[in-house]
Structure 1
Amino acid sequence: MNTTEQQFLKELDDKLWKAADKLRANLDAANYKHVVLGLIFLKYVSDAFEERQRELRELFQHDSDDNIYHLPREDFDSDNEYQQAMDEELEVLDYYREANVFWVPKEARWNTLKSKVALPTGSVLWQDANGNDVKLRSVSWLIDNALEAIEHSNPKLKGILNSISRFQVEDDKLIGLINSFSNTSFSTPEYQGQKLSLQSKDILGHVYEYFLGQFALAEGKQGGQYYTPKSIVSLIVEMLEPYSGRVYDPAMGSGGFFVSNDKFIEEHAKEWHYDAAEQRKHISVYGQESNPTTWRLAAMNMAIRGLDFNFGKKNADTFLNDQHPDLRADFVMANPPFNMKDWWSESLADDARWKYGTPPKNNANFAWLQHMLYHLRPAGSMALLLSNGSMSSNTNNEGEIRKRLVEEDLVECMVALPGQLFTNTQIPACIWFLTKDKTGGLSPNGVKKRSRKGEVLFIDARQLGYMKDRVIRDFTADDIAKVADTFHAWQRDENYEDVAGYCKSATLAEIQKHDFVLTPGRYVGAAELEDDGVPFADKMALLTEQLREQFNESDRLEAEIKRNLGGLGYEV
C-alpha cells in the first residue's frame, strides 16, 4: 500500500476503535469483542452482497453474445414491469453463491439495520411469512435477528454467530456503533479528496484483523489464544509459499495463517502471472480449534474474506478428537500453545501419530509437531512456531524425538526469532520447517527445488526487527523478505552463501557433533566485525581513558547531588 492508503487505514482504525472502546466501561474485552466483531461481520457481508447486486444489475442490462445474465428490456411491456423483474432476479440466491458471496436476507442487510435502529421500541418492522407483524423489541434483538437470518440462509455458518442480547448492551451504545460503521465508506473510500484503490474486502478485512490484535492486547495473556502476530504469520507464509493445494492449521486460532495465505496469493498475482480469484479456487482450507469462541471467530474471519473452509463439525481437541483424520495436506502451518502441560490422555499412548517417539505427558510441543507431520503428504512442507526449548531439551524423550527427526532428514530449516514478538508471552520462540522429501523437483505449488538431502539451513533472525512500542517488537517487510529470500535461495541453489552470525547450511554430521541440538546460534557463529584499522593496543588505551573520564564525571555528579541535598536539610 502507498502512504496515503496507510494513513487512511490508520485513521480508520483509530476512529472505529475509539467508537468500540466506549463499550469497555460496561463489558470486558473478552465480551465486547463479540459485539464489535459481530457488527463488523454484518457490515462486511452486507457490503459484499450489495456490491454483487450492483454488479448483477449491470450484467442484466448489458447486451452481448457472451453475457448469460442479460435480461432483455424488449421482453417486457413497460419500464415498471422490467424493473420489477430485475428486482426479483436480484433476489435469486444462486447468483450470489456462484460468486462465493454470502446470501444476506433483507432483514439482515445493513441498510435495514440503519433505518430501523432509530425507531421507537414496539414499532412494526415488517411482516413474517405468516403475515404477522414483527415488532422492534430492542437494538440488540434486531442485530440478533439479522445474525440468525444469515445463519439460517448460509448452512456453513450454522452455530457460528454469537448472540448480542446476552451481553445486555444499551441501545444507545449499539446505535452509536452502527452509525460509526455506517459513516465510513468501505466500498468507495476517499481520503483527503483522493479516491483510493482499496477494495471493501481489503478494508474490512484489515479492520477485523486490527480489532483482533487490539482485543489480544486488551485481554493480555488469554488474548494470545486466538491471535498470532501478523509479521510472524507473514514470514511463515512467505517462506512456504502455499498458493496451491490443501492448507491445514491444527491450532488455527482466529485463522490468521489462512488470511495471510489469501493475501499472499493476492500480492504475488502479478509477479507470477496468474489471476488471484482463479488461483483461490486451487486452495482448500482445513483447520481445527478447541476454544468455541475462537472457532467461531475463525469462521467469521473466513466468511468476511469469502474463503471456503472446513473447520470440522465443531470445536474440538486436536489430539483427542481429530476433525480431519484422513487429511493429508500439501502445507501445514501452526502456532500451537507453547509448552502445553495439560494435554495427555492414556487413550493417546499408542497413537499412530507418534511415529518418532511418544511425546512427554507434561509438554505437547513434540505432539503438535508429530501431529502435523502425520497430516503432511509425502511431498508437502510444514512450519510451526515452538518455544526455544524444543531445539535443545533432552528431558522426557524430547531429545530422542529430535534426534530421530534429524536422522530421518525431516528437518529443513530452523529460524531463531527475536524476543518480545508476542503480546501474551515473553518465551523466546523459533520456527521449525520440515518436509518429508528433500530430493528436489517440483513442490506442490510448482516451485522447482534442488536436492537438499542431508542438509539443514539455520537462520539466526534474533537481531532483526524493531521496537514497535515499549513492549512489542515487530518485523519490517524488508526483514521478512530477507529471511524468506535466504531460505528460497538455499532451496533453489540461487547464489546462496553462508553468512557468519546469520545463516549456515549444515550437514547432518555437523548436527550430530552438536548432539542434535538445533539452536541456530551454534551453527551460524558470530558476525564478522568490520576492521576499522586501529591497532588493538591503541584502541584499548583510548577506551581506558574514556572510562577513567566517565568515572571522574560520576564522582563529580555524586558530590554535587550530596551538596544540594545537604542544602535542603537532608543528610546523605
Structure 2
Amino acid sequence: MNTSEQQFLNALDDKLWKAADKLRSNLDAANYKHVVLGLIFLKYVSDAFEERQNELKELFQKDRDDNIYFMPREDYDSDEDYQQAIADELELLDYYQEKNVFWVPKTARWSTLKSAAALPIGSVVWQNEQGEDVKLRSISWLVDNALDEIEKANSKLKGILNRIGQYQLDNDKLIGLINSFSDTSFRTPEYRGQKLELHSKDILGHVYEYFLGQFALAEGKQGGQYYTPKSIVTLIVEMLEPYKGRVYDPAMGSGGFFVSSDKFIEEHAKEKHYNPAEQKKHISVYGQESNPTTWKLAAMNMAIRGIDFNFGKKNADTFLDDQHPDLRADFVMANPPFNIKDWWHAKLEGDVRWKYGTPPQGNANFGWMQHMLHHLAPTGSMALLLANGSMSSNTNNEGEIRKALIEADLVECMVALPGQLFTNTQIPACIWFLTKDKSSKADRRGRTLFIDARSLGYMKDRVLRDFTQVDIAKIAETFHAWQRGSGYQDQPGFCFSAELKDVQKHDFVLTPGRYVGAAEQEDDGEPFAEKMARLTAQLKTQFAESDRLEAEIKKNLAGLGYEL
C-alpha cells in the first residue's frame, strides 16, 4: 500500500470512528459495535451491488457487434422502451450471483436508506408488493428492514445479521452516522486530488477490521474474546504460509486468521504474477465459535471480504459440539481464551482427541492443543497461542502431555512473545508451532526451533505493545530458513535449533529463554579490570555528590523551620 492510500485510510478511520463514537452516550461498546458494523455491512453489500450494476450497464450499452448481453438501442421502438428494458434486466438475480455478489433488494440499497432517512418520521417511503404505502417508523426500523430484506434474498446470510431496533437509538444520531458513511466514496476514492487504486471491498474490509480493533480496546477484557491483535495474526500467517488447502480455527472470534490468510494469498499471488481470485479458489476456511454474537461478526467479516466460509450450522462449544468432526485441515490456527477453568464435561472422559494424555479439568490449554492436532492433516501445520505456563507447567498431567508431544516429534517451533500485546490480558504468551511432518521442506526430524522475541516490538501507546513489519519479517524468515535447512544460524539471545537431548536435559520445558541463552555483548576494547576500576571510581564520585546534595537540602529545610 502506498503512502497516499495509507493516509486516505487513516483519515477515513479517524472520521468514521468519530462519527460512530457519538453513539457512546447511548450505548456501551458491546452494543454499539453491532449498530456501526451493521451499517458498514449494509454499505458494503450495497456498494458491491451498485458496482456490479454499473458494469452490467456498460455491457448492455455496447455496440451491436460487441454486445453479447443485450439488444442495441436501434432494436427498440423508443429510447424509453430501451432504458426500461435495461432497468428490468439489471434486476435479474443471476447476473449478480455469477460474480458472487450479494443480491440487494431495492428497499435495502444504500441510496434508498439515505433518501428515506432524510424524510420526517411518518412519511411514505415506498409501496409494498400489494401496492400499499409503507411509512417511515424510525431510522432503526429502516436499517432493520434493510437487514431483513438482505437476509431473505441471500440464504448464506440467514441468521447472521444483528438487528439494531432493540437498542432504541436516537434518530438524529443514526442519521448522522448514515450521512458520514454516505459522504465517503468507497468505490472511486480520491486523496488530495489523486485517484487511488482501492476497491470498495478493500476499503470497507479495512474499516471493519479497524472498528473491531477499536471496539476490542473499548470493551477491554470482554473485547479480547473476539479480537486477536493484527500483528500477532499476521506473524502466524506469515510463518505458516497458507497458500492453498483447508484452513481451520476452532476458536475463531471474528475471523482474523481467515482475513489475514486471504490477504497473504493476495500478496503472494501478486508477487508470483498469479491471478489472486484464482489463487483464492484453492483455499477453503472452516471455523467454530461458541459466542452467538461473535459467530455473527465473523460471518459478516467473511461476507465483506468475499471469502467463502463454513462456520458450521450454528455457534457451538468446540469441545462438546464439534461442527467439523471429519475435517482434517492443512493449516490450523487459533487464539483460544487462556487457561479456561470451567470447560470440562463428563462426556469428554476417554475422548478420542486425548491421544497424548487427558487434559486437566481445571485448564483447557492442552485440550485446545489436542483438539487441533486431531483435526490436522498428516502433512499439516498448526499454530496455537497459549499462556506461557503451557511451556513449563508440570501440574495435573500437563508435563506428561508436553513430554508425549515432544517425544512424538510434533513440536516444530516455540516463540516467546513480549508482554502487553493483548487488549484483554497481561498474561505472558507464547506461540506453539506443531506439525506431523518435519520432513516436508528439509529433514528437521528430531529438532525444535526456539525463538525468543520478547525484546522485539515497540510501545504504540502507554499500555499496548505491537510488532513492526521488520519484527515480523525477522521471526518469519528465521523460521523459514530453519525449515529449508539453508541460511539458518543459531543467534545467541534470539534463536536456537535444539535436539531432543537438549530438551530432555531441560526436563521437557519448552521456554525459549532456556535454550537461546544471552545475547552476545559488543566488545568495546576496554580490558575488564580497567573498566571495573573506572566504573567503581565513577560510582564513588556519584555517592559523594549525593551526600553533598542531601546535606544542602537538609540545610535549606532547617532554614525554613523544617527537619527531615
TM-score normalized by the length of structure 1: 0.96
Question: Aligned partners of 2:163 and 2:561: how far apart in 1?
Answer: 66
Residues 124/411 of structure 1: CA separation in 2 closer, same or farther (3 Å cut): same
CA offsets, 1:7-59, max 9 Å, x none?
22112111111111111111111111111111111111111111111122222
Does residue 128 (structure 1) correspond to residue 128 (structure 2)? The answer is yes
Partner of residue 385, structure 2: 385
C-alpha RMSD of the superposition: 1.6
CA offsets, 1:236-260, max 9 Å, x none?
0001111211111000000000111
- The alpha carbon displacement at 1:69 in A equals 3.7
Partner of residue 89, structure 1: 89
Give the match's secondary structure for 1:253.
Answer: coil
Alignment of 1:45-444 (within 5 A): 45-62=45-62, 68-69=68-69, 71-440=71-440
One-letter amino acid matched to 1:212: L
Q: 1:507 aligns with which of 499, 502, 506?
A: 499
One-letter amino acid matched to 1:455: R
Question: Aligned partners of 1:453 and 1:510: how far apart in 2?
Answer: 14
Partner of residue 494, structure 1: 486
One-letter amino acid matched to 1:386: L
Residues 545/92 of structure 1: CA separation in 2 closer, same or farther (3 Å cut): farther
Residues 104/501 of structure 1: CA separation in 2 closer, same or farther (3 Å cut): same
Question: Aligned partners of 1:353 and 1:155: how far apart in 2?
Answer: 34
| Equivalent pair of 2:412/2:447 in contact (CA under 8 Å) | yes
- The alpha carbon displacement at 1:545 in A equals 2.5
- The alpha carbon displacement at 1:2 in A equals 2.1
Gaps of 5+ in 2: none
Residues 76/554 of structure 1: CA separation in 2 closer, same or farther (3 Å cut): farther
- The alpha carbon displacement at 1:555 in A equals 3.4
Question: Aligned partners of 2:220 and 2:412: how far apart in 1?
Answer: 34
| Equivalent pair of 1:417/1:460 in contact (CA under 8 Å) | yes
- The alpha carbon displacement at 1:79 in A equals 2.5
Does residue 479 (structure 1) correspond to residue 471 (structure 2)? The answer is yes
CA offsets, 1:487-513, max 9 Å, x none?
111111231111111111111122112
One-letter amino acid matched to 1:546: Q
Give the match's secondary structure for 1:221.
Answer: coil
Question: Aligned partners of 2:558 and 2:71: how far apart in 1?
Answer: 94
CA offsets, 1:92-143, max 9 Å, x none?
1122122121111111111111100011111111111222211110000000
Partner of residue 539, structure 1: 531
- The alpha carbon displacement at 1:71 in A equals 4.6
Question: Aligned partners of 1:296 and 1:568: how far apart in 2?
Answer: 69
Residues 179/319 of structure 1: CA separation in 2 closer, same or farther (3 Å cut): same
TM-score normalized by the length of structure 2: 0.97
Q: 2:510 aligns with which of 507, 512, 518?
A: 518
CA offsets, 1:306-335, max 9 Å, x none?
111111111110001111111111111000
- The alpha carbon displacement at 1:399 in A equals 0.7
Give the match's secondary structure for 1:526.
Answer: coil
Residues 225-234 or 514-523, more deviating: 514-523
Question: Aligned partners of 1:539 and 1:143: how far apart in 2?
Answer: 73
One-letter amino acid matched to 1:144: D
Question: Aligned partners of 1:93 and 1:346: how far apart in 2?
Answer: 50
Give the match's secondary structure for 2:221.
Answer: helix
Give the match's secondary structure for 1:498.
Answer: coil
Residues 394/119 of structure 1: CA separation in 2 closer, same or farther (3 Å cut): same
| Equivalent pair of 2:237/2:261 in contact (CA under 8 Å) | yes
Question: Aligned partners of 2:173 and 2:120: how far apart in 1?
Answer: 15
One-letter amino acid matched to 1:204: L
CA offsets, 1:343-397, max 9 Å, x none?
0000000111111110000000000000011111111111110011111111111
| Equivalent pair of 1:160/1:296 in contact (CA under 8 Å) | yes
One-letter amino acid matched to 1:530: E
Question: Aligned partners of 2:211 and 2:556: how far apart in 1?
Answer: 51
Question: Aligned partners of 1:277 and 1:64: how far apart in 2?
Answer: 30
| Sequence identity percentage | 80
Give the match's secondary structure for 2:535.
Answer: helix
- How many residue pairs end up in the alignment? 564
Residues 69/430 of structure 1: CA separation in 2 closer, same or farther (3 Å cut): farther
Gaps of 5+ in 1: 441-448
CA offsets, 1:184-241, max 9 Å, x none?
1111111122222222212111111111111111111111000000000000000111
| Equivalent pair of 1:63/1:70 in contact (CA under 8 Å) | no
Give the match's secondary structure for 2:321.
Answer: coil
One-letter amino acid matched to 2:218: A
Does residue 550 (structure 1) correspond to residue 542 (structure 2)? The answer is yes
| Equivalent pair of 1:144/1:163 in contact (CA under 8 Å) | yes
Give the match's secondary structure for 1:268.
Answer: helix
